[in-house]
A and B are shown apart, each in its own frame.
Chain A
């Protein structure tokens, strides 16, 4: 009994390490075969439509509501200290530093990451990737790399749009609904938000999240057992692993970027 448990544990550990090694090799293979994604940028643009443009609705609507909630909650807290004019700063900094990149990444993982995994997994299950290999076309270069770079490029754009819609949502609730002074709202935001410290760091975060989500989604699809159950399991793993990776990476990046910042 105990021996079997130890064997199972050892087996799972070896499998886990093997999978991580395979994922790392996969990631470097994608980077190595990325030439096609740029030489034939049309392939990448086409995928940007499917993963980026079609994610816009969920990103924009979520951004609007998150901003509106921030406006309400922020006002409630700030008015306790008589500083409701600082609502613009609170909304903007929360969004560009944290909520924009993180929530947009979580939504992107659920909406686009799962779709990428399912697509690649089904292409594998229906032998489309094998067919491509047999036609002397490398599926990593032709199918995987354009989707990888699509995620990396789309993610900061989607995060920026999320933040913009969130600020607009905060403005609607704070200024138009509650009546915070419009001049203070925008002026304080403009003076407090630093391009390098806040916006650029937010962009860096979303690029890192884009790399993580794209790699996980593509790897899970490429490694999925070629069965209905296999593809379904891979899709679930993509959402779970990507979400956890985004939150963990966010902590690490925040610790490096904002440590000791006044």
Chain B
């Protein structure tokens, strides 16, 4: 299929990953990945643990550079930017880390105000109003004076989300936003991601393995396995997919294309059954 047919080279693509490969010394993590995220969409990258999902986010954020291929965000090749240009681009990105990564020595308010104070010359009154608006958007205006240690896991994730959208970014990346959340926090977080994407007109890129919650809110899904994209499509297409990997993943089956057992010698051989009986 041509690049245009795959959705590349379109101006409404905010993120374009083309033929990207990445590895640490001999260990290849990503092999020829092609992926696009259009403006205003919620796009999920799914796959089992260790398949390279978070590495993809780090490539998009410019924390690592691809060994091969290009990662473009808003038309700029992230891997080729110098530090000043990369930091300029990052001001238009937000990132929600798996456990929030809130600064533990400052309050919730100061966490959300952090970027505003670092990157703008706004007076403190304006910063106060903006911070309270962002916290209100995630339902935690009342928690502004709490310290991160006083928050539950779900609350910390929402504060981190408020912090990620503090500068009204064009792209927000979420690293496992649903991990370890109770059912209520799960639903709240999922709805927040969808609502913020729609109301703020941003693009959301989710790395997750929570299939059911993600399929409720996403526009497009990519499945990654062993460093390659094995399936992609809309939520409806993914639900209807008959591909063995997707079927195993969605239904949580123990065995399938992703084996339950880590590669090992024959069981009987490991237990030395033949040797003992002899």
Pick from B83, B90, B98, B99: contact of A135, CB below 8 A: B90
Give the residues from 129 to 144 in chain A that come closer than 8 angstroms, CB to CB, to chain B: 130-131, 133-138, 142
- Asked if B6 lies at the interface with its beta carbon under 8 angstroms from chain A, I say no
Say yes or no: is B251 at the interface (Cβ < 8 Å to chain A): no
Question: Which residue of A128, A130, A136, A138 contacts B63 across the interface (Cβ within 8 Å)?
Answer: A130
Stretch at the interface among B21-29, B41-49, B113-121, B211-219: B113-121
Nearest chain B CB to A49 CB, angstrom units: 12
Q: Is the CB of A136 within 8 A of B101?
A: no
Q: Does A126 contact B (CB under 8 A)?
A: yes
Residues in chain A near residue B87, CB distance under 8 A: 136, 138
Contact with A along B126-153 (1 / 0, CB 8 A): 0000000000000000000000000000
Number of interface residues of A (CB under 8 A): 12
Known A135-B115, A136-B88, A137-B118: A126·B95 in contact at CB below 8 Å: no
Q: Give the residues from 99 to 128 in chain A that come closer than 8 angstroms, CB to CB, to chain B.
A: 126-128
Contact at A133–B118, with CB atoms within 8 Å? no
A-B contact count (CB 8 A): 47
- Mask, B32-56, CB within 8 Å of A = 1, is 0000000000000000000000000
Interface of B is mostly: mixed
Residues of A within 8 A of B98 (CB): 127
Closest chain B residue to A126 by CB distance? B101
* Interface membership of B79, Cβ < 8 A: no
Contact status A136-B99, CB under 8 Å = no
Q: Given A126-B104, A128-B104, is A134 in contact with B99 using a C-beta cutoff of 8 Å? A: no
Question: CB-CB < 8 A to A126: which residues of B?
Answer: 99, 101, 104
How many residues of chain B are within 8 Å of chain A by beta carbon?
Answer: 22
Q: Contacts of A137 on B, CB cut-off 8 Å?
A: 114-115, 118
Of chain A, the residue at the smallest CB distance from B98 is A127
In the complex with contacts A126-B104, A136-B119, A137-B118, A131-B90 CB distance below 8 A: no
B97 CB within 8 Å of chain A: yes
Q: For chain A residues 195-236, which have a beta carbon within 8 Å of chain B?
A: none
Q: Contacts A134-B90, A135-B115: A128 and B95 contacting too (C-beta < 8 A)? A: no
Q: Is the CB of B103 within 8 A of A134?
A: no
Question: Once bound together, how far apart are the Cα atoms of A142 and B118, in whole Å?
Answer: 10
**CB-defined contacts of A138 to chain B, threshold 8 Å:** 83, 87
Q: Does B235 contact A (CB under 8 A)?
A: no
B99 CB contacts on chain A under 8 angstroms: 126-127
In the complex, what distance in Å separates the CA atom of A126 from the CA atom of B83?
23
State whether A127 touches B88 (Cβ < 8 A). no
B163: A residues at CB distance < 8 A: 135
- Which of chain A's residues have a CB closer than 8 A to the CB of B95? 131, 134-135
Task: Report if B93 contacts A (CB, 8 A).
Answer: yes
In the complex, A198→B151 CA distance in Å? 54
Distance in angstroms between the alpha carbons of A142 and B119 in the assembled complex: 13
Taken together as a complex, chains A and B put the C-alpha atoms of A142 and B106 apart, in Å, by 14
Given A136-B87, A137-B118, CB of A131 within 8 Å of CB of B63: no
Q: Which residues of A contact B101 (CB under 8 A)?
A: 126-128, 130-131
Q: B91 within 8 Å of A by Cβ?
A: yes
A sample of 14 more A-B contacts (CB under 8 A), given A131-B101, A136-B119, is: A126-B99, A127-B97, A128-B101, A128-B103, A131-B95, A131-B97, A133-B63, A133-B90, A134-B94, A134-B95, A135-B114, A135-B163, A136-B115, A136-B118
Name the 9 nearest CB pairs between A and B, nearest first: A131-B101, A127-B101, A136-B87, A136-B90, A134-B95, A127-B97, A136-B91, A135-B115, A137-B118
Can you identify 12 A-B contacts, CB atoms within 8 angstroms?
A131-B101, A131-B103, A133-B63, A134-B93, A134-B95, A135-B95, A135-B114, A135-B118, A136-B115, A136-B118, A136-B119, A137-B115
